[in-house]
Chain A
Amino acid sequence: MSEFHRFVVDGIIDPAVTLAAFAEQVGLSENEAEEFDRRFFDTPDGRLHADQSTLEVRNSVEFPLMCSLVWLKGGQVLASARVESGFSPDFAGSLPAGPAFDRLRELVEMRRFLPVATVRSRLSTGGHLDAEEKTTARVHIDLPSLPDGRSLPALIEVRAVRGYEAETAGLLRAMRAHEAFEPSDLSTADFARAMVGASPYLPGKLSLQLDDRASADEVWRVVLRELHEAMTANFRGTVEDVDSEYLHDFRVAVRRTRSVLQEGRGVLTPAARDHFRDGFKWLGDITTPTRDADVHLLDYPNMIAALSPEYAEALAPLHELLLSRQRSCQAQLALDLRSTRRAQLGAEWAEFLSGEGPWMDRSSGESGDAAEADRRARDVAAERIERAHSRLVRDGRTIDGSSEPEALHDLRKDAKRLRYLLECFGSLFPAEDLSVAVKPLKSLQDVLGEFQDTEVQAHALAQFGRQLDTEGASTDTILAMGGAIEQLSVRQSRARREFAARFESFDSREVEHAYASITGTGTTKSKKRKKKNR
C-alpha cells in the first residue's frame, strides 16, 4: 500500500537520545519499547529483500517462549502468527495458513527460506496523531545489535497512513532537515548481513548491458562469461538440492550457453565451438531426469487440486513414488556434477573464457573459420535474430488444425532459439523494440510449452501408473491417475486451441516492425514516424 521512508540515525550522540528528543520535538506518541531476538530469513535470490520486506522469527527477550513469525514491510506487519519456539520456515508450505501468508507464498513460490541474519532489536512503534487523535503516520524505531554485541545502525521508519500523505509531509520534512537522519535503502537485516560479510543474493534475470560497438568476438565472450557466472552461482545449491530453482537456473544457464555457442558460427573457432557444444550438451542431459522429477513434484499440488478430494487422497502412493524418484535422480546428478568429466569441462571452459589456452588459436583451423569474429556484434546478432525470426514465422504459418503434434514441438524449438538470442543479445538493440518483440513471443512459447509439457507429463504418469499397478496399488489410485491424465489431455487440447490466436499476435504487423527494426531490415516504425513528421 503506501510507501515508507527509512532513515538511519547517525551522529556522535546515542541514537536513543537523538530519537527521544526528536519524538518530543514533533510530538510522536510512543508505545513501550520491547526487546526481541530476531532471526531473519530470505530466499537464495533475495525475493524479500527485493520486495523491501523481511521475514523473521522473533522471540521476546523478556518472555523467551513468546515466539512469532513476522512478515514486515517498513515496520508494518504484513502477516504474523505465533509459532513454536525454535521454528524455522523452509518452504512456502511451512508458513502458517491464512490469506496474509498466502501473499508471501505467492512471492517465494518454490524457493527455500534460508537464515540470513540474527539480530537483537529494541523495537517501538509510535504514531503521529491529528486533533481527533487519529493516527496519520506510523513511526517504527529499531535499535539493533548483533549477537556478539556490536551495534548496528539505529533505524527510524515512517509510513503515512493511506489518505494522510499530506498530513505526513511536515513530519518527513522535519526528518530530512534533521542532521542526524540519513535516508537509507537498507533494512536491519541488510545491515546485519553486511556486517557479517554474507554472500550476495543470487542474481535474478540476466542483466547484460552490451556495448553495441564492440566486436562479435568480444560480445560473445562477455555473454558466455555472464552465463558462466550464473552457472557457478547455482552450482552448489544444485548439488546440495537446496531447492528446485537452483537446478532450474543452472539448466537455463547451460541451455543459453549452448545456444550462444550454436549461434557462434563464424565467431568462435570451430574447434572450440564443437568441443564445448558437446560438453554442454552432456552437462544439460545429465540434469534432465532430476528436472523432470522436480517438475512432477512442483505440479503435484495443481494436479490434485483439479481432482475431487477422494481421488486426491488416493494419489498419495504416486506422491511417494515421485519423491523417491526425485531423490534417486538427485543423488545421481550430484555424483555426475562432482565427476572428473564435469570438473574437466569446467576447467577448460574457464580457460577458454579467460582467453587463454588452445581454444583461442584462430590460425590453427582452416582460414575463414572465425571470419565474423571482428565484425560488429550488433550486426552479427541482428542477422542471427533475423534468420531465427523468419524461420519461426515460416514454420508457424504452415501449422493448421490438421498438423501433427511434432510440428508444434519443432516450432517450440524455433521459438526457443529466437528467445535465447533476444535474451542474450537484446541489450544491443533499442529497448522499446525489444519489448514489443519479446512479449508475444513469450506468450506463444507459453502455449507451446503447455502443449508439450502436458503430453510429456501424461506419458510419464501413464508409465508411473503401470509401475504402481505392478506394485499392487489400489484401484482407486489407478483410477485417480486416469483422472489426472485426463486433466492433462484437457489442458493439452486447450493449448492446441489457443495456439492459433497466439501465433497470430506474434505474426502481426506491429511485431514484424519491431523485428525489422532490430535486424535493420525493411522500414521501421520509427523511421516511418519521422517521415510523417517532416
Chain B
Amino acid sequence: MKILATYNIKGGVGKTASAVNLAHVAAGRGNRVLLWDLDPQGAATFYFRVKPKVKGGGEALLSGRRELADVIKGSDYDNLDIVPADFSYRHLDLMLDDAKKPLARLRKVLSGVADEYDYVFLDCAPSISLTSESVFRAADALLVPVIPTTLSIRTFDQLDAFVAENPDIVRKLKIMGFFSMADSRKRLHRELMDELREQRPELLPSQVPMDTDIERMGVHRQPVTAMFPKSRPARAYQSLWDDIVERL
C-alpha cells in the first residue's frame, strides 16, 4: 500500500481536484484506492456525495477507539472508497498533540487497511502544522500542485526549506511537484513554467491545465475523469498519474 498526499502550504491551488481525479484514475486502472479527506471543509467528500461525518469524529480514529475500516464509504466508482471529512478535523492538531507518538499516529491508523488498498490518497488542508507533519511521516509521496505564479513558486521553496530542516520527519518521502491551473495562453505562465522547469528538473512532466470542466465538478459532483473521460483535463490527470507511478 502506497500513501500519497496532496499538499501545498497555500490554499486553492488544486490539491483537492488532483486528489479526487487521480484517485479516480488510479481506481479505473484496477487499483484498490482509498481517499481520505482530511480537510474539515470536506470538498473531496462533497464531490463524491458522501456525508461529511465520521462516527466519533477524528478523535475516535486517532485514538484507535474506532477502526478506519468501520468508517469507510464506497464511492459510486469501482475500487474507489472514501474516508469522509468530519467537522472535528479542524481540531486534528490538538488531537494529535494529545496522542502518543503524534507523528506516527496517522500511519498507524492507516496500517489497519494495508491489505485492502493499493493506494491511499490523503487530501490535506493548506498549512504547515502537526497534522501536515504527521502526513509527511505517513506518506510515501507528496503531490504538490504549483500554480505558475511567482508567489506560489515561493511556497514551493518554503516546502523545500522545511524538508531540509526536518530530515527526521520526512525520511523517505518523495516530493513530486507539478503545475496546476496552468494557462499556456498566458505568456507569464509559459515563461514561468519554462524557467521553473529549468531550475527544478524533477518536476513531473505532465501538467494540469486551467479548464472550466474542472470547476464544473462542483456542480456535477463527479470527478472530471468520470464526467468527461476524454476531455483535456481528464487526459492530463491520466498522464499525471502515469508520471507518478513511474516515480514511486
The listed residue (A76, A77, A164) touching B73 by CB distance below 8 A is A164
In the assembled complex, A163 has its CB within 8 A of some CB on chain B: yes
Q: Once the chains are docked, how many angstroms separate the CA of A405 from the CA of B178?
A: 58
Q: Once the chains are docked, how many angstroms separate the CA of A365 from the CA of B221?
A: 85
Query: Given that A77-B78, A161-B73, A162-B72 are contacting pairs, would A98 and B30 also be in contact in the complex, using a CB cutoff of 8 Å?
Result: yes
In the assembled complex, A123 has its CB within 8 A of some CB on chain B: no
- Where the two chains meet, the residues of B that have a C-beta atom closer than 8 Å to any C-beta of A are 29-32, 48-51, 71-76, 78-79, 81, 116, 118, 221
Q: How far is the CB of A165 from chain B (nearest CB, A)?
A: 10
Q: Once the chains are docked, how many angstroms separate the CA of A79 from the CA of B78?
A: 10
Q: How far is the CB of A197 from chain B (nearest CB, A)?
A: 35
- B75: which A residues are within 8 A, CB to CB? 161
- B49: which A residues are within 8 A, CB to CB? 132-134
Cβ contact within 8 Å between A134 and B72: no
Q: How far is the CB of A139 from chain B (nearest CB, A)?
A: 13
In the assembled complex, A169 has its CB within 8 A of some CB on chain B: no
Q: Given known contacts A98-B29, A134-B50, A163-B72, what 17 new A-B pairs fall within 8 Å (CB)?
A: A1-B74, A2-B74, A76-B78, A99-B29, A99-B30, A99-B31, A99-B118, A100-B79, A101-B30, A127-B76, A132-B51, A132-B221, A133-B49, A133-B221, A134-B76, A162-B74, A163-B73
In the assembled complex, A135 has its CB within 8 A of some CB on chain B: yes
- A132: which B residues are within 8 A, CB to CB? 49, 51, 221
Query: Given that A99-B118, A132-B49, A134-B50 are contacting pairs, would A164 and B30 also be in contact in the complex, using a CB cutoff of 8 Å?
Result: no
Nearest neighbor of B48 in chain A, beta-carbon distance: A134
Q: How far is the CB of B157 from chain A (nearest CB, A)?
A: 36
With most chain A CB atoms within 10 A of its CB, the pick from B29, B30, B31, B51 is: B30
Q: Once the chains are docked, how many angstroms separate the CA of A102 from the CA of B73?
A: 25
- A79: which B residues are within 8 A, CB to CB? 30
Q: Once the chains are docked, how many angstroms separate the CA of A100 from the CA of B76?
A: 18
Q: Once the chains are docked, how many angstroms separate the CA of A77 from the CA of B75?
A: 14
Q: Once the chains are docked, how many angstroms separate the CA of A76 from the CA of B49?
A: 20
Q: How far is the CB of A273 from chain B (nearest CB, A)?
A: 49
Chain B contact residues: over half helix, strand or loop, or mixed? loop
Q: Once the chains are docked, how many angstroms separate the CA of A164 from the CA of B75?
A: 10
Cβ contact within 8 Å between A162 and B78: no
- B74: which A residues are within 8 A, CB to CB? 1-2, 161-164
Nearest neighbor of A159 in chain B, beta-carbon distance: B74
- B51: which A residues are within 8 A, CB to CB? 132
Nearest neighbor of A102 in chain B, beta-carbon distance: B30
Nearest neighbor of B83 in chain A, beta-carbon distance: A163
- A163: which B residues are within 8 A, CB to CB? 71-74, 81
Interface residues of A in 97-152 (CB under 8 A from B): 98-101, 127, 132-135
- A100: which B residues are within 8 A, CB to CB? 29-31, 79
Q: List 18 A-B contacts (CB under 8 A).
A: A1-B74, A76-B78, A77-B78, A98-B29, A98-B30, A99-B30, A99-B32, A100-B30, A100-B31, A132-B49, A132-B221, A133-B221, A134-B48, A134-B49, A135-B76, A162-B73, A162-B81, A163-B71
With most chain B CB atoms within 10 A of its CB, the pick from A2, A79, A132, A163 is: A163
Q: Once the chains are docked, how many angstroms separate the CA of A135 from the CA of B78?
A: 12
- B32: which A residues are within 8 A, CB to CB? 99
- B31: which A residues are within 8 A, CB to CB? 99-100
Nearest neighbor of A97 in chain B, beta-carbon distance: B30
Q: How far is the CB of A484 from chain B (nearest CB, A)?
A: 29
Interface residues of A in 160-195 (CB under 8 A from B): 161-164
Q: Once the chains are docked, how many angstroms separate the CA of A164 from the CA of B82?
A: 12
Nearest neighbor of B84 in chain A, beta-carbon distance: A163
Q: How far is the CB of A120 from chain B (nearest CB, A)?
A: 24
The 9 closest A-B pairs by CB, nearest first: A100-B30, A163-B73, A134-B49, A162-B74, A161-B74, A135-B76, A132-B49, A98-B30, A99-B30
Q: Once the chains are docked, how many angstroms separate the CA of A79 from the CA of B116?
A: 16
Interface residues of A in 299-336 (CB under 8 A from B): none
Q: Once the chains are docked, how many angstroms separate the CA of A133 from the CA of B50?
A: 10
Q: Once the chains are docked, how many angstroms separate the CA of A99 from the CA of B78?
A: 14
Nearest neighbor of A163 in chain B, beta-carbon distance: B73
Q: How far is the CB of B70 from chain A (nearest CB, A)?
A: 9
Q: Once the chains are docked, how many angstroms separate the CA of A127 from the CA of B71?
A: 21
Q: Once the chains are docked, how many angstroms separate the CA of A79 from the CA of B32?
A: 11
- B118: which A residues are within 8 A, CB to CB? 99
Nearest neighbor of B116 in chain A, beta-carbon distance: A1
Q: Once the chains are docked, how many angstroms separate the CA of A481 from the CA of B45?
A: 55
Nearest neighbor of B119 in chain A, beta-carbon distance: A99
Q: Once the chains are docked, how many angstroms separate the CA of A99 from the CA of B81?
A: 17
- B81: which A residues are within 8 A, CB to CB? 162-163
Q: Once the chains are docked, how many angstroms separate the CA of A161 from the CA of B80?
A: 11
- B78: which A residues are within 8 A, CB to CB? 76-77
- A161: which B residues are within 8 A, CB to CB? 73-76
Nearest neighbor of A137 in chain B, beta-carbon distance: B74
- A76: which B residues are within 8 A, CB to CB? 78
Nearest neighbor of A76 in chain B, beta-carbon distance: B78
- B221: which A residues are within 8 A, CB to CB? 132-133
